[in-house]
Amino acid sequence: MSNVKWTNGTEHWTKKGDINLFLWEKPAAKNVEPAGTILFVHGSSMASQPTFDLHVPGRPFSSAMEWFSARGYNTWTMDNEGYGRSDKHRPINSDISNGADDLVAGSEYILKKSGAKNLLIYGISSGALKAAMFAERHPERVARLALDAFVWTGEGSHTLNERKKKLAEFSAKNRRPIDRAFVHSIFNRDHPGTADEATIEAFADAILTLDDSMPTGTYVDMCSRLPLVDPARIKVPSIILRGEFDGIAAMDDLIKFFNLLPNMDKQFSVMEGISHASFQQKNYMTVYHILHSFFTMPDNPYRG
């Protein structure tokens, strides 16, 4: 494994029952107007710090946490059970619902520690499913919800159709091995060229520093148990982000989901030139801009 170190942040720990969960905080920059508290939720095949606090030489603000902290946000992320620094000892596959339980414990800790009333939540891929499920269960803790690379029913998802061919294998065990070639496959399967080689290698280094295997639960859920969330029960302001070339998030599936969201403070954004791992793409600044715009929307005085 590589030896990547994370700096300029503070590690925290909380409990979910007897499970230790790791959280990572980068506070808002000083002398900047406070803008809110963000919780970033990682996906199926990488822990939190590689996804949201990645550092690549020559790539300004490769760390999403640092970009948002520079603009007044208290930024947090956490490793779900089975990932990164969080406990991995239970004989479970760490599925979507278990990840949403992690967010309950993590959000309770963050709200108490920060004094925030609620959180701005961003989730990517299976992390978007966890975030959406959490928003169903605890809407009072969510100020705004951003779902990136999201999947609802899975209809029209060619990546999931390919993954289903290995469903029996994933269902038979709690963890699956990963290596550098696997990380490369994330960027090659949809539309090669959307991410530069230096970023892909730095991402792989960071992922493999923390893990050499990943839980199978989110794969099993996304291949055999969709839909896992009900859009009618997501009452908070929401944005759906979809990369132009993303093979997970089929456009028609997302539009149907979007149409059923009851809160009219909602947006749907297609991100040009982006495939699946949006923060690691060449066009990553587009993602930051869209999120920042959504997170800074003013409260509407009139709602009809």
CATH number at residue 27: 3.40.50.1820
Q: Which structural domain, as residue segments, surrounds residue 203?
A: 10-295
Integer Cα distance of 158 and 234 in angstroms? 26
pLDDT value at residue 3:
67
Q: How many domains does the chain have?
A: 1
User: What is the distance, to the nearest Å, from the Cα of residue 192 to the centroid of all Cα atoms in its chain?
Assistant: 22
184-to-1, 199, 213 alpha-carbon distances in Å: 16, 11, 15
For the chain, what is the total number of helices (H) and then of strands (E)? 11, 10
Please choose, from the candidates 142, 136, 126, 71, the residue with its C-alpha nearest in 3D space to the C-alpha of residue 94.
126
Cβ–Cβ under 8 Å, residues 264 and 162: no
Cβ–Cβ under 8 Å, residues 274 and 281: yes
pLDDT value at residue 303:
85
Whether residue 251 lies inside any domain: the answer is yes
Q: Give the residue ranges of the chain where pLDDT is below 50.
A: 1
Q: Give the tens place of pLDDT for each residue, 49-100.
A: 999 999 999 999 999 999 999 999 999 999 999 999 999 999 999 999 999 9
Whether residue 163 lies inside any domain: the answer is yes
Q: Please report the DSSP string for 152-173 in residue order.
A: SS-TT-HHHHHHGGGHHHHHT-
Whether residue 2 lies inside any domain: the answer is no
Integer Cα distance of 208 and 60 in angstroms? 23
Whether residue 146 lies inside any domain: the answer is yes
pLDDT value at residue 7:
87
96 φ, ψ to 5°?
-60, -45
Cβ–Cβ under 8 Å, residues 128 and 96: no
257-to-156, 164, 228, 229 alpha-carbon distances in Å: 13, 22, 12, 10
Cβ–Cβ under 8 Å, residues 130 and 44: no
Count CA within 13 A, CB hemisphere, residue 109. Answer: 22
- Show Cβ contacts of residue 190 under 8 Å, excluding neighbours closer than 6 positions: 159, 245, 246, 247, 275, 276
- Enter the pTM of the model: 0.97
Whether residue 244 lies inside any domain: the answer is yes
Cβ–Cβ under 8 Å, residues 142 and 118: yes
Cβ–Cβ under 8 Å, residues 124 and 43: yes
pLDDT value at residue 275:
96
Whether residue 70 lies inside any domain: the answer is yes
Please choose, from the candidates 178, 177, 195, the residue with its C-alpha nearest in 3D space to the C-alpha of residue 187.
195
Whether residue 301 lies inside any domain: the answer is no
Whether residue 287 lies inside any domain: the answer is yes
Integer Cα distance of 119 and 71 in angstroms? 16
Task: Please identify which residue in the block is written with the tokens 């108490």.
Answer: 112
- Show Cβ contacts of residue 289 under 8 Å, excluding neighbours closer than 6 positions: none
Q: State the DSSP H helix or E strand holding residue 78, giving kind and residue range, or none if neither.
A: strand 73-78
